[in-house]
Amino acid sequence: MPWFGRKKPAGDAPSLVVLAQRTLAERGVETTVDGHPDDPVHTRLLGADGQVYLLANLAVQVRGENEERRTAIVGTHFDRMLQAHREPAPEELDADELRDRVRLRLLAEDAADPTDLTYARPFAPGLVLGLCVDYPTMVSTLSTGSLPKLALGTDELWAMGRFNSDAEPVDANAEIAPGVLLVEGESLFTATKAVNLPALFGAAPFGTVFAVPHRHLLLAVPLRDADSVPAIQTLAGLLVRVLGDREAGLPGGLLSPHLMFSRHGQVSQVSTFDEATGELRIEVDERFQEALQEAVA
């Protein structure tokens, strides 16, 4: 996943809704359109077997691609989805399979997800932690009702989920500006690595300022010395740039538009964001102020 990558503009091509419906029909799946053919974000395809195919995430993947690439992306997407329908349900997995497949996942608290996540644990303002099962072709979010039916107890699920998410590979882990670190990857659990920042960046005794605008990206400034102060300003500017990049979009949807501050296992929000103006303002509370003073000293 390229950092702030740009794609070539697409030429004349059928709408994504038409292309998706045609692709499914070629695979023996007949669907009807629930919505408008020119609005894939709010349109669904309804299968005769009751399966619902959402297109919002697919719309992000194909944005700006030429017709050949769009067709290939859509085909691969539905091949994986149809294969996923043949995977065993989480309740059918044995204990060893669950230990291997369970993942911790950072989720927006107000995400439009029909899954019952009342068991989710708070992580930061606007963000919660849920549990998922990572299949070869899809990720299934566990619901509250499914947990008692699984082959592992809740405590072990959370422990193995964190271990496996920490171990997820990334495509990039680099310093992209003085003091500003980037972690990026195709894994849906890349942003979840914010739960264990020392595993990525080493010890940060004064804490770490970070941002998780979407599931594939983590930006961070570990507080180490006086140079960390201008690095936080740079981080804020990069976050605004990601949020405003309409061509690259926010894969999987917005996680959080804010800067967060993590220290001693406690995470707080240290910014406000005005969606109308695109302005982000850093807010320094007493806890954050203390950490900055210690780092500068």
Task: Give the integer Cα–Cα distance in Å for 35 and 80.
Answer: 24
Q: What is the pLDDT of residue 13?
A: 62
10 Å CB burial of residue 7 (0-12, 13-18, 19+) is middle
Q: Give pLDDT tens digits for 95-110.
A: 999 999 999 999 999 8
pTM, two decimals, is 0.77
Query: For residue 34, how many C-alpha atoms fall within 13 Å in the half-sphere facing its CB?
Result: 12
Q: Give pLDDT tens digits for 51-79.
A: 888 888 888 888 888 899 999 999 988 88
| Banded pLDDT at 226 (limits 50, 70, 90) | very high
What number of residues does the chain have?
A: 297
Q: What is the CA 180 to chain-centroid distance, rounded?
A: 20
SS3 assignment for 228-241: HHHHHHHHHHHHHH
Task: Give the integer Cα–Cα distance in Å for 243 and 240.
Answer: 5
Residue with tokens 């740079």: 234
Query: For residue 239, how many C-alpha atoms fall within 13 Å in the half-sphere facing its CB?
Result: 35
Least confident of 22-31, 48-57, 260-269, 284-293: 48-57
Report the mean per-residue pLDDT for the chain: 89
In a 3-state reduction of DSSP, which class is residue 260? Answer: strand
Instruction: Tell me the percentage of the chain whose pLDDT exceeds 70.
Output: 95
